[in-house]
Chains A and B, each alone.
Chain A
Amino acid sequence: MRQTSIIDIISPIMVGPSSSHTAGAVRLGLLARNMYNGTPKKVTFRLYNSYAKTGRGHGTDKGLLAGFLGLGVDDVGIRNIFDLEISKNFEYKFEYLEDFNRHPNAVDFVIEGTPNIVISGDSIGAGEVVINKIDNFSVKLNGKYNTLLLIYKDIPGMISNVTSKIPVNIASLNCDRYAKGEDASMCIALDGELQEDIIASIRSLPSIYIVRYIKKLES
């Protein structure tokens, strides 16, 4: 069973009013920001279901944008993020949708720029979030661990090639692929930190297209 922490129960310190709809939105935004790792041309935030229906009253729209711009859950700048200078760095819009196949608090970040990427996640309650899709790959990223995300060609030995270079304990490992021998994704949650040279050595492995090191969330 997954072990919970008392600190998770008596925190975070956050801007209200809703852990799932405000703080969760900020954290999803922060994770999407760290995954994209660049300045986009345009971001379309697609809010689904409860996020779509009650998002404005809960500041979900503000939270998603604020997180994507790097503000933490306790930053009072969230309140007037639309007026802040940093929110003018790229174009953005919000879409409000219904889809009963999606989680009640689901969001897509449709990011246009170099590259174009769609990142999807859910706010699963009490401020906890999970990013579960990048483009069409299933991933699993909750911001609690430093995580290495790879997109690569599905070839034998790839997992051991990568993991043999990682000197710290691996907390979880999730892989997905389109089909045998096609593009695949690997999401490695780590108990410790990775140094830049290790990440570079993984990046230099053959048949790896994208490597992202996504730091765990501070708040």
Chain B
Amino acid sequence: MEKNINIRTFEDLYNACEKYEKTIYEISQEREAELAEVSIPEVRIEVKRSIDAMREAIQNGLHSDKMSVSGMCGDDCVRLQKGFERKHALFGKLYEKIVTYALATSEENLRMGKIVACPTAGSCAIVPSVLVAVSDSLGISEKEQIDALITAGEVGRIISNKVQLAGAVAGCQAECGVASAMSAAALTQMRGGNVKQILNAVALAMKNLLGLTCDPVCGLVEIPCVKRNPFLAIHAVTASEMALAGIVSKIPLDEIIDAMEQTGKLMSPMLKESSEAGLAKTKTAIELEHKLGM
């Protein structure tokens, strides 16, 4: 297994899966165990801790309408649930669950609740909403949920080798964008996709989010972050469906990550978490800044 320590690109990962006839999560958990000098079951217990915390955050978020310190956000998940009671979603129950869980988690985050940074706090709702809603609806076992989250983690890890997962470094493509790609990987794994399909789901999701800026109003993880999470959870589902149907990204995944790195570097610092442009400097955003005394 010595060689797996050196998996740096998606091509390396694919080749390792082919060579050893293993899935992404198998290669990943072996590598992780070796690197941390622990057993594979110990790695999986760590992963399960995150899943448990994700579920707890969803439950807490579903039942709260407490606003954030700024008072800008916090009561939309309750509004959404009431809305679905009045009129069911066009795409059905599972869609309702995914967007509701995503909003519940991101609102729980802004009111300083306990969440799982996956990969970051601002993007904390995208992976959990898909993972929990789909596994509960389809009766996916706990073992398979752990497999799925390890798969997602491996995707985030490889991207982070190239691009630091921080809005201040590469914009929101590196936070919510990566979360959506990770989520597409987890979903494709849960639905029985093979290695190629999983990597294509990641490629399709990531490619469509290149250039996403980070321009939070008042510099806070609220507008547009909170509602971006449910959008990008559904985005992950679209990517996964296409990949499972056999649609292939014409641009290989590693090249997409190269493009993401370049895009992040070319992106103006004014659009990278500094709140000096874009949505953060709209007339209304400036009024909100004054209101908050910033």
Interface residue ranges, A against B (CB under 8 Å)? 1, 3-23, 50, 53-54, 56-59, 74, 76, 78-79, 104-105, 124-127
Across-interface contacts of B156 in A (CB, < 8 A): 6, 9-10
Query: B112, B118, B169, B219: which contacts A9 (Cβ < 8 A)?
Result: B118
Query: B69, B70, B150: which contacts A6 (Cβ < 8 A)?
Result: B150
Is the Cβ of A74 less than 8 Å from the Cβ of B114?
yes
Is the Cβ of B114 less than 8 Å from the Cβ of A6?
no
B176 within 8 A of A: no
Across-interface contacts of A15 in B (CB, < 8 A): 112-115
A125-B109 CB under 8 A given contacts A12-B117, A58-B221: no
A6-B154 CB under 8 A given contacts A1-B161, A126-B165: yes
B281 within 8 A of A: no
B220 within 8 A of A: yes
Centre residue among B120, B121, B127 by max chain A CB count within 10 A: B121
Across-interface contacts of A12 in B (CB, < 8 A): 116-117
Is the Cβ of A10 less than 8 Å from the Cβ of B119?
yes
Is the Cβ of A6 less than 8 Å from the Cβ of B112?
no
Question: Could you list some 5 contacts between A and B, CB below 8 A?
Answer: A3-B5, A10-B153, A76-B113, A126-B120, A126-B160
Interface residue ranges, B against A (CB under 8 Å)? 5, 8, 28, 32, 35-36, 43, 46-47, 49-50, 53, 68-70, 108-122, 124, 127, 149-150, 152-154, 156-157, 160-161, 164-166, 168-169, 182, 218-222, 273-275, 292, 294
The 9 lowest CB-CB distance pairs between A and B, nearest first, are: A125-B166, A6-B153, A54-B219, A16-B109, A9-B156, A13-B53, A19-B121, A57-B220, A17-B221
Is the Cβ of B35 less than 8 Å from the Cβ of A18?
no
Across-interface contacts of B119 in A (CB, < 8 A): 9-10, 126
Across-interface contacts of B275 in A (CB, < 8 A): 53-54
Q: How far is the CB of B147 from chain A (nearest CB, A)?
A: 12
Q: Which residue of A lies closest to B127 (CB)?
A: A10
Q: How far is the CB of A170 from chain B (nearest CB, A)?
A: 16
Is the Cβ of A18 less than 8 Å from the Cβ of B122?
yes
Q: Which residue of B lies closest to A79 (CB)?
A: B112
A125-B111 CB under 8 A given contacts A18-B221, A57-B219: no
Complexed CA–CA distance, A94 and B168 (Å): 23
Across-interface contacts of A10 in B (CB, < 8 A): 47, 50, 116, 118-119, 127, 149, 152-153, 156
Across-interface contacts of B114 in A (CB, < 8 A): 13-16, 74, 76
Centre residue among B49, B53, B114 by max chain A CB count within 10 A: B114
Centre residue among A1, A9, A12 by max chain B CB count within 10 A: A9
Across-interface contacts of B46 in A (CB, < 8 A): 7, 11
Across-interface contacts of B166 in A (CB, < 8 A): 20, 124-126
Across-interface contacts of B127 in A (CB, < 8 A): 10
Complexed CA–CA distance, A74 and B68 (Å): 18
Complexed CA–CA distance, A7 and B33 (Å): 11
Complexed CA–CA distance, A3 and B5 (Å): 8
Complexed CA–CA distance, A54 and B280 (Å): 13
Complexed CA–CA distance, A72 and B53 (Å): 15
Across-interface contacts of A13 in B (CB, < 8 A): 49-50, 53, 114-116
Complexed CA–CA distance, A127 and B116 (Å): 11
Centre residue among A3, A4, A8, A16 by max chain B CB count within 10 A: A16
Is the Cβ of B121 less than 8 Å from the Cβ of A22?
yes
Q: How far is the CB of A18 from chain B (nearest CB, A)?
A: 5
Q: How far is the CB of B256 from chain A (nearest CB, A)?
A: 18
Is the Cβ of B47 less than 8 Å from the Cβ of A7?
yes
Across-interface contacts of A4 in B (CB, < 8 A): 157, 160-161
Query: B47, B113, B219: which contacts A16 (Cβ < 8 A)?
Result: B113
Complexed CA–CA distance, A56 and B113 (Å): 16
Is the Cβ of B117 less than 8 Å from the Cβ of A17?
no
Complexed CA–CA distance, A123 and B127 (Å): 24
Q: How far is the CB of B33 from chain A (nearest CB, A)?
A: 11
Q: Which residue of B lies closest to A10 (CB)?
A: B153
Complexed CA–CA distance, A12 and B32 (Å): 16
Is the Cβ of B157 less than 8 Å from the Cβ of A57?
no
A7-B273 CB under 8 A given contacts A19-B117, A126-B166, A127-B117: no
Is the Cβ of A17 less than 8 Å from the Cβ of B165?
no
A17-B112 CB under 8 A given contacts A1-B8, A58-B221, A126-B119: yes
